[in-house]
Amino acid sequence: MNKEEARQRIIKLREVINFHRYNYHVLDRQDISEAALDSLKHELWELEEKYPEFITPDSPTQRVGGKPLEKFEKVKHISPMLSLADAFSYEELLAWEERIKKLIPGENLDFFAELKIDGFAVSLTYENGLLVEGATRGDGKVGENVTQNLKTIESIPLRLNEDSGINIKGRIVMRGEVFLSKQEFDRINSEQAKKGLQIYANPRNLAAGSIRQLDSKIAAARKLDSFFYNLVTDLGQKTHEEEHEIIEKLGLKTSKYVKKCENLAQIKDYIDDLENKRDSLPYQIDGMVVIVNNLDLENRLGIVGKAPRWAIAYKFPAEQATTKILDIQISIGRTGALTPFAVLEPVKVAGSTVSRATLHNADEIKRKDIRIGDTVIVQKAGDIIPEVVEPIRGLRSGKETFFNMPTICPMCGGSVIRPAGEVIARCANVNCFAIQRERVKHFVSKGAFDIEGLGEKIVEQLLEEDLISDPSDLFELTVGDLEPLERFAEKSAANLVQSIQSKKKISLSKFIYALGIRYVGIQTAGLLADYFADLEKIETSSEEDLRDVEGVGDKVANSIFRWFRNPKNLEYLEKLEKHGAGYIKEEKTKELEGLSFVITGSLSFMAREEAEELIRHKGGKASGSVSTNLDYLVVGENPGSKLAKAESLGVRVIDEAEFKKILKI
Ligand SMILES: [Zn+2]
C-alpha cells in the first residue's frame, strides 16, 4: 500500500467505524460484532501509526489517549448551567403552573416532559462540527474541562453529522447527561468485589467519579453513555421539542421517552406511565423533568436564583432513605443458613414502610462496617428485598456496637459451621426446629406441592405437637389430628386434609424443587426434569452426567450428587413414596421443539411457573435469561428489565394473546 492508498484507506476506515459506532451506541442497533469493529479499529490504528500525518482529531483512535492530566482546566460556561427546583407531588406541579401563569397572563402554555436520568450533567462545545470542549457543571458558572474523558464515550460524536441540513459552521453548545447503565454498574461492582475492592453505592456517583478522573483510561474502561437535551446555541429552534430534534439530527443520542403535552393532566398520565416502567428501564431515573415548551415564554419567565422558572423536576418516591439500625438478628433458612438482618426504625422507602433489611452475611456486614445503632442508607428497588447500602459514619456517637455472628444456633443451640471458602454460616443440627419449619414451608410453597392453608403458625404447631417430623408426614394427617390444634374448627381441618390429599401427585420439576436440594431452584428443577424425565435417572447419575444438563454447573451437580448419596435423604424419598406422594410421568410432545421462551411479568391466565412447565411439556425450552439466541420473550403485566434487554438485542417480543396462540390454548 503506498501513501496515497493508505490515506484513502484511513478515510474509509474512519467513516465505516463511525457509521457502526453511531448505529450501536446512539441508535442501540448492532449490525456488526464488537470483535469485527475492534478489528477495523486496530487496522486504522496501525495505519495511523505508520502515517501519523493522517491522524485527525475526530479519528476513532483519538477517543482514549494522551497522558493523564495534572489537573483540570477551568471552563467558563457561556450561559449558566442551571439546576432545577423539585416537585414531590402533582399538587406541587399545579402550584408551579399557577405561579408561572401569573407572570405570563393570557399565554397558552404547553409542556414537554422527559426523563430525569440519574446521571452527571455536562456541556459540549463543537466548533465547525468538531468536538473541541467538554465540561462539567461545576458551580453552574465555571466548570472543569473534561474533554479527554467525554471523548471516551462512544455515544458522543467527535464530529457532528454533516448531512443533516443544519449549518454546523461556527460554535455549537449543547448540554446533557452522562450516566452508567444498571448493567454496566453491576459489572463494575462485581469486578470490584472479585478484587476485594470497594463497592460503589450508586451509578450516579460512579459516573461522576469516572468523568472527574485525570487519567482518561479509567473513564474509557467504564462504558459510560449519554443523553443530550438542551441546545444552547440558537439554530432556529422555537420550542424545547425542537431542541431535541436538532440535537438528534446532529448525531447525538436523545432519549425516546419524551412527550409534548397540552396540559399538566396529560403530563401526570405520562409520569404515572413512566413510574411504572421505571424498574424495567436499563438505567436509573429519579423522576421526570417538566418544561415549558415555548422558548419565547421561557425567556420571559427567566431565572430565579440558580433555577429556571420554566422547568421543574418531578421526583419519584425515593428508593433510598436513612434510618437507624435498632438491632441485628438472625433468620434461619431451610438449608440451615444463618442470614443476619437489620431491625430498623420504620422508614418510608419507595412508597412503603420498611422495618427490616437484609444484611446478606457476616462478611458483608464487616465489609460495609455496619454496627448496631448506626444511621444507615436503606434501599428498596422494585421487587428486590430492602437492603442496607452503607452506614453514615459521620453520625456515629461512639455508642454503636459491633455485631458478632453467633457461634451457636439461636433457635436450637446447635453448633454453627462455616466451611472454608464459603460466606454462609449454617446450623449443623439437622433436627433444628427452624430448619424443619423452613423445610416444610418450602415443601408446601407455590413452586413445590402448592398446598394452601399451611401458614407458618400451623406448620410450627404441627412440628411442636410432633404431628409431623418431616414434610412427608403431611400426607398422613387426619381431621382428628388437626382438630385439637389452636384455631382449627372441624370444617377447616377437613378442608386442609382435603387440600393436602389433592396434591399428592405433582409434576416432576415441582417434585425435584420440593426436595429442597441446595442450589436447585425452580429453574434448575425444570432443566433437570426436562433432561432426565425420571427421578431415578437423576438419582443414579454421576456428577459428570449431571453437568451435561445445560445450565447445571459444578457446584449444582455436586450438590445434587451428594444429596442422593445421603442415606437420610433416600429414606425420606422412600417415605414420600410410602405416603403416596410423587410425580406424574408425562409423555412430552414435540410441538415446540427447538424453540426457547422467557417470560417476564405476570400472566393473567396462569402462573408463570405453570406456563414454563407447559412450554417444557410441549418440548420447548423455558429459560431464565435473555440472550441473542432466545426465540421469544413473553411479556405479561409489569414486565422487568428483561423487556428492555430483549428489545436491545432484537429478540422477538410477544404478548399474552400471541403466546396463547403458540401454546394453542
Ligand atoms: Zn439450629
pLDDT at 382: 60
- Per-residue pLDDT tens for 370-385? 999 999 999 886 656 8
State the Rg of the chain over Cα.
30
pLDDT at 36: 87
- Per-residue pLDDT tens for 188-246? 988 887 787 777 877 888 898 889 888 888 888 899 999 999 999 999 999 999 999 99
Distance, CA of 341 to CA of 324 (rounded, Å) = 13
261 is in an annotated binding site: no
- Helical segments of 126-180, H only: 147-150
How far does the centroid of ligand 1 lie from the alpha carbon of residue 429, in Å? 6
Tell which of 289, 315, 341 closes a domain.
315
Q: Do 204 and 110 have their domain in common? A: yes
- Among the residue ranges 129-138, 477-486, 573-582, the one predicted with the least confidence is 477-486
Q: Do 304 and 216 have their domain in common? A: yes
ipTM comes to: 0.96
Distance, CA of 113 to CA of 108 (rounded, Å) = 17
CB atoms within 10 A of CB 644: 22
Q: Are strands 337-349 and 320-332 parallel, antiparallel or unpaired?
A: antiparallel
How far does the centroid of ligand 1 lie from the alpha carbon of residue 363, in Å? 20
- In a domain? residue 80: no
What Cα–Cα distance (Å) separates residue 7 from each residue in 3, 21, 55, 129, 414?
6, 21, 10, 21, 77
The partner residues of 171 in beta bridges, in order of sequence, read 127
Q: Do 332 and 277 have their domain in common? A: no
Q: Do 608 and 550 have their domain in common? A: no
Q: Do 228 and 190 have their domain in common? A: yes
Q: What CATH number does the domain containing 26 carry?
A: 1.10.287.610
How far does the centroid of ligand 1 lie from the alpha carbon of residue 439, in Å? 13
Distance, CA of 499 to CA of 508 (rounded, Å) = 19
- Domain span at 214: 85-315
Q: Check residue 3 and give left, alpha or beta (phi > 0: left; psi -120 to 50: alpha).
A: alpha
98 is in an annotated binding site: no
CB atoms within 10 A of CB 329: 14
How many structural domains are present in the chain? Answer: 6
Task: Identify residue 381 by its one-letter amino acid code.
Answer: A
Q: Do 127 and 181 have their domain in common? A: yes
83 is in an annotated binding site: yes
Q: Do 129 and 176 have their domain in common? A: yes
- Per-residue pLDDT tens for 115-163? 999 899 999 999 999 999 999 998 889 999 999 999 999 999 999 998 8
Q: What CATH number does the domain containing 379 carry?
A: 2.40.50.140
What DSSP letter does each residue of 241-253 carry, written as one string? HHHHHHHHHTT--
Q: Whose grid coordinates read 438542551? A: 230
Tell which of 503, 520, 539 closes a domain.
503
How far does the centroid of ligand 1 lie from the alpha carbon of residue 255, in Å? 53
How far does the centroid of ligand 1 lie from the alpha carbon of residue 431, in Å? 7
How far does the centroid of ligand 1 lie from the alpha carbon of residue 341, in Å? 17
Tell which of 559, 583, 607 closes a domain.
583
Q: Do 206 and 351 have their domain in common? A: no
48 is in an annotated binding site: no
116 catalytic, yes or no?
yes
Q: Do 601 and 570 have their domain in common? A: no
Distance, CA of 315 to CA of 84 (rounded, Å) = 11
Q: How many residues does the chain have?
A: 665
- Per-residue pLDDT tens for 317-345? 778 889 999 999 999 988 899 999 999 99
Marked catalytic residue, from 12, 74, 116, 259: 116
- In a domain? residue 195: yes
pLDDT at 383: 58
| pLDDT bracket for residue 489 (50, 70, 90) | confident
Q: Do 357 and 335 have their domain in common? A: yes
**Which residues make Cβ contacts (< 8 Å) with residue 455, sequence separation at least 6?**
none
Q: Do 154 and 298 have their domain in common? A: yes
pLDDT at 261: 94
315 is in an annotated binding site: yes
- In a domain? residue 67: no
Q: Quick one: CA dihedral 268, 270, 276, 282, positive or negative?
A: negative
- In a domain? residue 616: yes
**Which residues make Cβ contacts (< 8 Å) with residue 249, sequence separation at least 6?**
161, 164, 165, 166
